[in-house]
Structure 1
């Protein structure tokens, strides 16, 4: 039996529209704006320190009494491999030389933090209504701890097999992420890119396979896209790219210009910026090394060596080495308030 008719009421929101948590592109301001407009605001926590997480949660609670989704990654941090790192540095060395940078000075940064008990300690006093995960689910003990304060648990499925796995492991609802979606793929049962399919192909197959509420994500940017996803079985929609140019985001001027240019029509999956497949606007780095390169170290170890190149290029006004995350449909990226984007999408309900 499906719980689909009451998903947004269950989440405590007026509209079945969820803001995609976009690490590195937003803080609590976007979550507050979306929540005040009737949707579910999200706070991406994978790149936040514990202290920063607490500050952002406090800022949200001070601004609104509406529900909040906090999002985390569930990856297993890899062990650094000196051979892999050496090959990665060799591939990047010509770019470092171009900017007069010393690649030997690159140190391994903190990367992305997977969900753990320390994060739970910060979350529990705030009791966020929704906790969502990328790359699977945390272990059973952590999952039970989250559910103990009444949180609804969401996770991302990119295949039917992942949807079934998440249902069996205790997810309350699924974010069905089509291949069109910007940012990191939520894939976790396989690393094979050919298993990934578009939203409108994936959604009805997952609908037939599980009895959980489904949240469609990927390529939905306007009211007609909302209506199409709803017709194929989506109980709610998750919107990311369409919100990126809103004044409430924190993306750079370079990223904003790219999203509103012809360049945004050409996106690709790439592992160069983090080590995992993620969709973004094609950049010089992606063209010259190939968007999916075997030489890139495992997630999130690719990040630290890219950071100096990104900073040097952006100082000249270039996004050649920047992760310009975007989905395949950036056609509605405009510098308008997030509330206006939500209102336009709601017409398709």
Structure 2
């Protein structure tokens, strides 16, 4: 079988299974995935998404309602698998002391959403896909997901994680390369800073080893990246940074300009925003946390809550939002998400001769 026919068979089978016209999935970017973005991607033939880690039941229900008002197509909803409780104060005291240099804190935030309630809300919403990051769902949850007719996509950053996900019952593994913007999906929060496999190495090894389809994500921002990932063995791609500058997301001008100016080596892995490593622009706030006088950021979700508290206080020097950025950020264009979706596939298809 030729490479072109193998790619065509994988893509066709995946698209038919999940109701897609094009093998383009929007990454579930928590805080940057309004329903309008998901609707635009889905209506262009791909699959929209919601990153629901910060959402309680009411917000989940509202997002789903607004999406379904705009589209009857497929969509994905994503949750983080909770970390084990940190030992001691999780670094909170030292992080609080360091944040005081930026100004006074605001009001403390409310409690985080309850994971079990989020799971219940997602299953009740009946998305096409429930996806996980930072680990795998437990067996009873997997059974409930499948019983509801929902597919489970599990994010993995290594071959070992991918095998664990497949063993746990994942229908698809999302191979996240270290190039990806936003949070690293590594199962072990400690290993997340030292485990960095590029997509070029990760995808073919997962495709050769797993019995389930592979979706590639990380550094894919134009048709060349889509085509390369499919040739390497992926059945579809998932893109995030490529959509950040679209009007449906509406990020700040400062963030958008930073993405436009970013070289491949510009973005950095940082725990400054949440306590979990993620790839972001090197703002002065992010750089401060890597200074010689800086303590380690507090463990997740303590750091996230602290940064939110200082933001509510309007502290100067604290980024008003997380400025995530993949390594191919400069290729992201300020165009409508539907246009981006269509062009990603048209360009890839031309390169592949499909």
TM-score of the superposed pair, with normalisation by structure 1: 0.89
2: CA distance, partners of 1:24 / 1:264: 24
User: Which residue of the other structure, out of 78, 85, 90, is the alignment partner of 2:97?
Assistant: 90
CA contact (8 A) 1:15 1:38 kept: yes
User: Which residue of the other structure, out of 39, 43, 55, is the alignment partner of 1:36?
Assistant: 43
Counterpart in the other structure of 1:181: 180
Deviations 1:115-168 (CA, angstroms, capped at 9, x unpaired)? 42x234433443211111111222111111111111111010100100110011
Counterpart in the other structure of 2:108: 107
- How far did residue 264 of structure 1 move? 7.9
Structure 1's unaligned 5+ residue stretches are: none
CA contact (8 A) 1:78 1:298 kept: no
CA contact (8 A) 2:109 2:308 kept: no
Deviations 1:180-205 (CA, angstroms, capped at 9, x unpaired)? 00000110046323322111111112
2: CA distance, partners of 1:303 / 1:189: 18
Matches within 5 A, 1:136-147: 136-147=135-146
CA contact (8 A) 2:51 2:79 kept: yes
1: CA distance, partners of 2:155 / 2:302: 22
CA contact (8 A) 1:254 1:319 kept: no
Counterpart in the other structure of 2:332: 333
- How far did residue 110 of structure 1 move? 3.1
Matches within 5 A, 1:296-307: 296-307=297-308
- How far did residue 291 of structure 1 move? 8.1
Deviations 1:200-258 (CA, angstroms, capped at 9, x unpaired)? 11111212221110000001111111111111111100010010010111433332232
User: Which residue of the other structure, out of 66, 73, 76, is the alignment partner of 2:83?
Assistant: 76
Q: RMSD value over aligned CA atoms? A: 2.6
Residue 64 in structure 1 maps to residue 71 in structure 2: yes
Residue 245 in structure 1 maps to residue 252 in structure 2: no
SS at match of 1:230: helix
Counterpart in the other structure of 2:352: none
CA contact (8 A) 1:271 1:291 kept: no
> Which has the larger displacement, 155-164 or 82-91?
82-91
SS at match of 1:195: coil
Change in 2 beyond 3 A, CA 1:79/1:219? closer
Deviations 1:76-119 (CA, angstroms, capped at 9, x unpaired)? 352584472111112222222xxxx1x5x6636534x4642x23
Residue 7 in structure 1 maps to residue 14 in structure 2: yes
SS at match of 1:13: coil
CA contact (8 A) 1:20 1:42 kept: yes
CA contact (8 A) 1:264 1:326 kept: no
CA contact (8 A) 2:81 2:134 kept: yes
Change in 2 beyond 3 A, CA 1:312/1:41? same
Residue 135 in structure 1 maps to residue 129 in structure 2: no
1: CA distance, partners of 2:125 / 2:320: 37
Structure 2's unaligned 5+ residue stretches are: 1-6, 350-354
Aligned residues: 338
Change in 2 beyond 3 A, CA 1:56/1:106? closer
- How far did residue 288 of structure 1 move? 2.2
CA contact (8 A) 1:273 1:302 kept: yes
Counterpart in the other structure of 1:167: 166
Change in 2 beyond 3 A, CA 1:319/1:76? closer
2: CA distance, partners of 1:153 / 1:114: 20
2: CA distance, partners of 1:68 / 1:251: 22
Deviations 1:272-305 (CA, angstroms, capped at 9, x unpaired)? 1101010000111222221897621211110122
- How far did residue 175 of structure 1 move? 0.5
